[in-house]
């Protein structure tokens, strides 16, 4: 091969191919000299000089011509050399030659298809030492070069071997990095998956790529404990008091106080940060992808796969915090089509008699959170869905004669709580429109709440209170002499947990989004509690009360259940935002993701 | 094309009790999961099926999961290529060393240059790659051509065929069906003319020769 290297200009392709074929054939007869030399020359990876590059290109091209002579048993070391080659280590010339070799090898014999697909998928991720440069311009340029060729090779194989995409699907799923891999690795792998989804093979592998994406998001999501994301405080307020926290402010004042909180070891908090960052980047990728799908008109098909994977993965994930926002964002892009599909699916699961109770409760919690938080939904649409919910509750209550029973009527209580939650957000705007107001007034809400099952005593106190307060201010449920029917329930101490061990009664899936980078996608479409005009609001301008934080003292924390700290909306320290009596809403402040005092 | 057969079969499908609500759907799911895979019992790749049950009753198996067995009568379309069978497929890629073909839209076949007969030469004309016959100018193999080839081997796991174009009755299907007869006659006519110039006295025996060659041909096909 040394001689060939010198005379590269003089030797024709055919002669080179012939030479390689002879070398391969010789192995079967026991003569491995030429063969070993061949393999030896393929192992140069670091900083190749032009001569070495030319040599490598020649070898690869010659091998392409000789693939039919490669035997899976006798030429095992050659095959493993080829499969170990990384596109990332070479320049465009070698990459092209390698691409051709891999495609030719895969299509020459069915036995090599899996091998070659595996080799290409392993090239989704750059070698370890490359990870740092990935963010720099030259790293990005290299990534584009490599991935373009890898995907072109995959397409090339799929064209010639029609059943290749199904094998590819499997291999991609097997090789996906787990939550412990470096962020750069996970991110570039998911980028590849999305490239496959939107590429030519999209119609074959697209669905499983979407499923796998959602799986990754959930896996990362459940690794983040609430404790790590926000510095939690067991002395939490009711959910409607405060939602967001300007963590900069927390940090200043937190230094001074004597925290009754749990002490977080540096490692635990740091891990939560790391995972949250990974999730943040992946969510950004996912949102970007959905946006480009929408622009290309592909969102309906992608949404179908998304909805299915939501149902099988996200709906039942215990306390998933952010992954579900892919649904929120997709619906915000296309409320008429995707949004209505989402709502119908949730209603279907909720009303079905086949699915387990937890699913149904989860579905109605999603519905409530979605209807309350989505800025892009019209009030009339919300009213229609609300009507359907009320209808179900009413029919259910008519069929029951028993008393309060937490176990048997969990779904009913979940639905009542959902009703109240949505009305807390939307009551004022519904009452503002005469047509919708009459719809609301005609709903049999009173009968439901007066029923022996007594949802008002079972559901979450903070929601019940807020709801009753607004209802009273709006003169709902009043008899002719002006008294409010449910006066006795204000300030009641009842707090029954009907949500089971999963605490589905405090599950509000679309609570404010807390990941920094990807927040920009969600924020414009999101209704924060402080933006809501309640029925008891005086007509004043919204105030920017960010400065009140430091002055007020804390009291009344003890009456609240410790469990509330596990809620999806994790309010901040009470002393920051005013005491229980003062229910002024704060303007939403800028959110920052998981940080610990150390990292700031 | 050889290699396709329809099998009448009696099947027994065991279904999980959860599927008892919609049995026909479950049966179709079971059978569909076997499509495009090689099945030893059927001795072939299942391409299509049509199944029906006669019996309304099914026996329940004792055990942890009381699955029940449904008896079916099914017609199965099977693809079972064996060596030396003749198959047809469309060319998707041509190279100096190989021709790549897709058979029935799902099975890939490769013919390497050793298995392509001498008369075919690899050429690049007007930027297009093709294999042209040096003997019969109109016999060409390009991309999108439907080609008839002989099966050398079939990999059951990956459904990959390896074929050969060595035999004279292989090549471009259109050409083989249309021109093979004509060309045969034409080449014989050419031979006759050469013979003629050599010996004028044999002129009268032309027709006899033509008839003879036709008879000859029919005995071969």
Buried b (16+ CB within 10 A) or exposed e, A263-285: ebeeeebbbbbbbbbbbbbbbbb
Q: Does B108 touch chain A (CB under 8 A)?
A: yes
CA–CA dist A193, A551 (Å, integer):
51
Cβ separation A68–B158 shorter than 8 A: no
Residue A536 confidence (pLDDT): 82
Residues of chain A with pLDDT > 70, as a percent, come to: 76
Contact A136, B137 (CB under 8 A): no
Q: What is the pLDDT of residues B169-212, one digit of tens each?
A: 898 988 888 876 665 666 666 666 666 665 555 444 444 444 44
Is residue A163 less than 8 Å (CB to CB) from chain B?
yes
Distance between CA atoms of residues A168 and A196, nearest Å: 10
Q: Chain centroid to CA A542: how far?
A: 33
The single residue listed with the structure tokens 């049999």 is: A444
In a domain? residue A406: no
- Classify B197 in phi/psi space as left (phi over 0), alpha (psi -120 to 50) or beta: alpha
Contact between A414 and A365 (Cβ < 8 Å) = yes
Please list every residue in chain B whose beta carbon sits closer than 8 Å to the beta carbon of residue A17: 97
* Closest CA–CA distance from residue A350 to any residue of chain B (Å): 21
On whether any CB of chain B is under 8 Å from the CB of A108, the answer is yes
The Cα A518–Cα A310 span in angstroms is 19
Which of B97, B106, B113 is closest, CB to CB, to A162? B106
Q: Do the bridges between strand B140-141 and strand B128-133 make them parallel or antiparallel, or are there none, so unpaired?
A: antiparallel
Tokens representing A351 are 């009303």
Q: Phi, psi (5° rounding) for residue A64? A: -55, -35
Cα angle A522, A523, A524 (rounded to 5 degrees) comes to 100
The C-alpha angle with vertex B96 and arms to B93 and B101, in degrees rounded to 5, equals 25
CB A88 within 8 A of CB B81: no
Residue A308 lies in a domain: no
Q: What is the pLDDT of residues A244-283, one digit of tens each?
A: 433 323 333 333 334 333 344 455 556 678 888 999 999 9
pLDDT band per the 50, 70, 90 thresholds, residue A379:
very high
3-state DSSP of B160-183: EEEEEECCCCCEEHHHHHHHHHHH
Ranges A342-356, A373-387, A464-478, B169-183: which has the least confidence: B169-183
Nearest-5° Cα angle at A183, A179 to A188: 105
Strand pairing report for B171-172 and B120-125: unpaired
**Which 3-state string (H, E, C) describes A388-450?**
HHHHHHHHHHHCCCCCCCCCCCHHHHHHHHHHHHHHHHHHHHHHHCHHHHHHHHHCCHHHHHH
**Rounded CA separation A44/A306 (Å):** 44
Sign of the torsion formed by the C-alpha atoms of B132, B133, B138 and B141: negative
**DSSP assignment of A154-195:** HHHHHHHSTTHHHHHHHHHHHT---TTS-HHHHHHHHHHHHH
Report residue A540 CA to chain centroid gap: 38
Look at residues A498, A522, A516, A527 and name the one whose alpha carbon lies nearest to residue A585.
A527
Distance CA A127, CA A148 (A): 17
pLDDT of residue B192: 67
How many other CB atoms are there within 10 angstroms of residue B44's CB atom? 21
Helix then strand then coil, in percent of chain B rounded to 5, is 30, 40, 30
Q: How confident is the model at residue A134 (pLDDT cuts 50, 70, 90)?
A: confident
Mutate to test the interface with A, among B47, B108, B113, B116 (most CBs of A within 10 A): B108
Question: Phi, psi (5° rounding) for residue B55?
Answer: -85, 140
| Residue A158, both tokens | 């799929």
C-alpha to C-alpha distance for A153 and A118, rounded to whole angstroms? 12
Domain contains A37: yes
What local confidence, expressed as pLDDT, does residue B1 receive? 79
| Whole-angstrom distance, CA of residue B203 vs CA of residue A404 | 115
Please give the Cα distance from A13 to B92 (Å, whole number): 23
Shortest Cα distance from A209 to chain B (angstroms)?
Answer: 20
Cα–Cα distance for residue pair A125/A143, rounded to 1 Å: 9
Q: CB-based contact (8 Å) between B106 and chain A?
A: yes
- Considering only the beta carbons, identify the residue of B100, B113, B155 that sits closest to A160: B100
Asked if B100 and B107 count as a contact pair (C-beta separation under 8 A), the reply is no
A107 CB near a chain B CB, below 8 Å?
A: yes
Q: Is residue A448 part of a domain?
A: no
Task: Sort out which chain B residues have CB atoms less than 8 A from A163's CB and list them.
Answer: 36, 106-108, 158-159
pLDDT digits (tens, 9 = 90+) for A170-225: 999 999 998 889 999 999 999 999 999 999 899 899 999 999 999 999 999 988 87
Q: How far is B69 from chain A (nearest CA, A)?
A: 25
Cβ contacts of A16 within 8 Å, gap of 6 or more: A4, A58, A61, A62, A65
**Of all helices (H) and strands (E), which one includes residue A284?**
helix A266-295
Q: Are A54 and A8 in contact (CB under 8 A)?
A: yes
Q: Is residue A85 part of a domain?
A: yes
Is the sign of the CA dihedral A355, A358, A361, A365 positive or negative?
negative
Instruction: Kindly report, residue by residue over A148-159, the tens digit of the pLDDT.
Output: 999 999 999 999
Query: What was the pLDDT predicted at A554?
Result: 34
- Under a CB-based contact definition with an 8 Å cutoff, are residues A420 and A463 in contact? yes
For the four alpha carbons of A127, A128, A134 and A136, in that order, the dihedral sign comes to negative
The residue segments making up the domain with residue A110 are: 12-175
Let me know if residue A453 belongs to a domain. no
Per-residue pLDDT tens digits for B133-152: 888 888 889 999 999 999 99
For residue B158, the distance in angstroms to the closest alpha carbon of chain A comes to 5
Distance from CA of B204 to the nearest CA of A (A): 52
Cβ within 8 Å of residue B181, ≥6 positions away: B217
B155 and A160 in contact by Cβ < 8 A? no
Q: Are B133 and B119 in contact (CB under 8 A)?
A: yes
Nearest Cα residue in chain A from B114: A68
Nearest CA-CA partner of B159 in B51, B3, B1: B3
- End-to-end C-alpha distance for chain B, whole angstroms: 16
pLDDT band at A33 (very low <50, low <70, confident <90, very high): confident
CA-nearest residue to B101 within chain A is: A160
- Interface contact B37, partner A, CB < 8 A: no
* pLDDT of A482 higher than 70: no
What is the rounded CA–CA span in Å between residue A595 and residue A251?
A: 10
In chain A, how many domains are there?
A: 1
What is the distance between the alpha carbons of residues A430 and A535, in angstroms, rounded to a whole number? Answer: 10
CA end-to-end span of chain A? 60
Looking at the partner chain, which of A64, A68, A111 has a beta carbon nearest the beta carbon of B112?
A: A68
Q: Which of A251, A172, A181, A155 is nearest to A207 (CA)?
A: A172
Is A162 within 8 Å of B102 when comparing Cβ atoms? yes
- B-chain residue closest to A17, CA distance: B97
* Residue B35 touches chain A, beta carbons under 8 Å: no
Q: What is the pLDDT of residues A71-126, one digit of tens each?
A: 888 888 899 999 999 999 888 999 999 999 999 999 888 889 999 999 999 999 99
- Residue B107 burial by Cβ neighbours in a 10 Å radius (0-12, 13-18, 19+): buried
In a domain, A83, yes or no: yes
Burial class (CB in 10 A: 0-12, 13-18, 19+), A63: buried
Question: Which percentage of chain A shows pLDDT scores above 90?
Answer: 42
What is the C-alpha to C-alpha distance for residues A554 and A63, in angstroms, rounded to an integer?
Answer: 77
In a domain, A43, yes or no: yes
Q: What is the CA radius of gyration of chain B?
A: 26
Cβ–Cβ gap B97/A65 under 8 Å: yes
Q: What's the average model confidence in pLDDT over A322-343?
A: 95
Reading phi first (left if > 0) and then psi (alpha if -120 to 50, else beta), residue A561 is in beta
ipTM, two decimals, is 0.74
Question: Distance (Å, rounded) from C-alpha A16 to C-alpha A58?
Answer: 8
Radius of gyration of chain A from its Cα atoms, rounded to whole angstroms: 31
Per-residue pLDDT, A370: 96
Q: Does B51 touch chain A (CB under 8 A)?
A: no
User: Cα separation of A436 and A427, whole Å?
Assistant: 10
How distant is the Cα of B218 from the closest Cα of chain A, in angstroms? Answer: 38
Band of residue B58 on the pLDDT scale cut at 50, 70, 90: confident
**Largest Cα span, chain B:** 93
| pLDDT for position B212 | 46
With an 8 Å Cβ cutoff, are B100 and A107 in contact?
Answer: yes
Number of H-type helices and E-type strands within chain B: 3, 14
Q: Which of B18, B158, B161 should we substitute to test contact with A (largest number of A Cβ atoms within 10 Å)?
A: B158
- Per-residue pLDDT, averaged over A311-315, amounts to 92
Give the residue-averaged pLDDT of A399-419. Answer: 87
Mutate to test the interface with B, among A17, A68, A167 (most CBs of B within 10 A): A68
A72 contact B CB<8A? no
Average pLDDT of chain A is 79
């Amino acid at each position: 091969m040394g001689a060939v290297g010198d005379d590269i200009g003089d030797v024709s392709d055919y002669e080179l191919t012939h030479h390689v074929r002879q070398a391969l054939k010789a192995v079967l007869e026991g003569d491995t000299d030429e063969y070993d030399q061949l393999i030896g020359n393929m192992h140069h990876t670091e900083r190749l000089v032009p001569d070495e590059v030319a040599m490598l290109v020649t070898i690869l091209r010659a091998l392409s011509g000789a693939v039919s002579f490669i035997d899976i048993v006798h030429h095992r070391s050659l095959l493993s050399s080829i499969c170990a080659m990384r596109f990332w280590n070479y320049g465009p010339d070698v990459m092209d030659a390698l691409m051709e070799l891999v495609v030719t090898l895969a299509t020459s014999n069915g036995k090599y298809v899996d091998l070659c697909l595996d080799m290409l998928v392993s090239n989704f991720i750059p070698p370890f030492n490359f990870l740092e440069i990935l963010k720099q311009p030259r790293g990005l340029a290299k990534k584009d070069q490599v991935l373009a060729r890898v995907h072109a090779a995959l397409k090339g194989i799929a064209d010639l071997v029609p059943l290749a995409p199904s094998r590819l699907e499997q291999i991609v799923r097997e090789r996906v990095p787990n939550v412990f891999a470096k962020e750069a690795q996970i991110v570039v792998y998911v980028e590849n998956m999305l490239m496959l989804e939107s590429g030519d093979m999209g119609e074959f592998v697209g669905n499983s790529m979407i499923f796998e994406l959602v799986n990754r998001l959930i896996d990362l999501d459940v690794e983040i404990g609430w404790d790590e994301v926000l510095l939690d405080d067991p002395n939490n307020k009711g959910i409607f008091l405060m939602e967001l926290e300007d963590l900069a402010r927390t940090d200043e004042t937190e230094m001074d106080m004597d925290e009754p909180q749990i002490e977080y070891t540096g490692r635990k908090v740091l891990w939560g940060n790391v995972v949250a960052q990974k999730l943040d980047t992946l969510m950004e990728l996912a949102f970007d992808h959905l946006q480009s799908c929408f622009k290309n008109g592909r969102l309906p098909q992608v949404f179908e796969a998304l909805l299915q994977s939501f149902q099988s993965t996200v709906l039942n994930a215990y306390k998933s915090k952010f992954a579900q926002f892919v649904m929120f964002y997709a619906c915000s892009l296309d409320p008429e089509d995707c949004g209505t599909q989402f709502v119908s699916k949730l209603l279907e699961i909720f009303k079905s008699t086949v699915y387990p109770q937890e699913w149904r409760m989860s579905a109605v919690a999603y519905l409530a959170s979605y209807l309350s938080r989505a800025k892009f939904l019209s009030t009339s649409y919300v009213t229609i869905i609300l009507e359907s919910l009320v209808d179900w509750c009413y029919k259910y209550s008519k069929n029951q004669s028993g008393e309060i029973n937490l176990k048997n009527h969990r779904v009913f209580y979940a639905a009542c709580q959902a009703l109240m939650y949505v009305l807390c957000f939307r009551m004022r705007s519904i009452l503002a429109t005469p047509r919708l107001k009459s719809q609301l007034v005609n709903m049999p809400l009173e009968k439901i709440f007066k029923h022996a099952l007594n949802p008002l005593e079972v559901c979450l106190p903070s929601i019940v209170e807020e709801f009753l307060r607004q209802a009273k201010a709006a003169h709902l449920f009043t008899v002719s002499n002006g008294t409010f029917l449910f006066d006795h329930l204000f300030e009641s101490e009842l707090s029954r947990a009907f949500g089971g061990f999963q605490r589905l009664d405090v599950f509000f899936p679309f609570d404010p989004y807390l990941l920094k980078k990807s927040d920009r996608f969600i924020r414009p479409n999101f209704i924060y509690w402080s933006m809501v005009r309640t029925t008891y609001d005086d007509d004043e301008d919204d105030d920017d009360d960010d400065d009140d934080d430091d002055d007020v003292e804390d009291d009344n924390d003890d009456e609240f259940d410790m469990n509330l700290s596990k809620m999806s909306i994790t309010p901040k320290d009470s002393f920051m935002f005013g005491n229980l009596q003062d229910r002024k809403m704060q303007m939403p402040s800028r959110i920052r993701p998981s940080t610990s005092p150390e990292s700031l | 094309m050889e290699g396709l057969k329809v099998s009448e079969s009696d099947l027994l499908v065991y279904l999980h009790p959860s599927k008892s609500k919609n049995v026909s759907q479950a049966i179709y799911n079971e059978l569909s999961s076997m499509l495009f895979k090689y099945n030893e019992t059927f001795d072939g790749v299942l391409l299509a099926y049509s199944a029906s049950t006669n019996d309304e009753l099914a026996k329940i198996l004792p055990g942890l999961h009381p699955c029940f067995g449904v008896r079916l009568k099914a017609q199965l379309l099977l693809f079972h290529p064996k060596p030396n069978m003749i198959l047809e497929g469309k060319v998707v890629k041509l190279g100096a060393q190989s021709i790549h073909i897709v058979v029935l839209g799902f099975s890939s076949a490769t013919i390497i240059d050793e298995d392509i007969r001498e008369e075919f030469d690899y050429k690049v004309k007007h930027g297009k790659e093709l294999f042209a016959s040096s003997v019969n100018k109109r016999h060409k193999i390009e991309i999108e051509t439907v080609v008839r080839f002989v099966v050398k081997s079939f990999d059951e796991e990956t459904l990959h065929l390896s074929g050969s174009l060595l035999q004279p009755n292989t090549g471009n299907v259109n050409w083989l069906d249309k021109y093979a007869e004509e060309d045969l006659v034409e080449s014989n006519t050419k031979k006759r003319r050469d013979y003629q110039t050599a010996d004028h006295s044999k002129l009268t025996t032309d027709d006899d020769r033509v008839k003879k060659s036709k008879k000859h041909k029919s005995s071969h096909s």
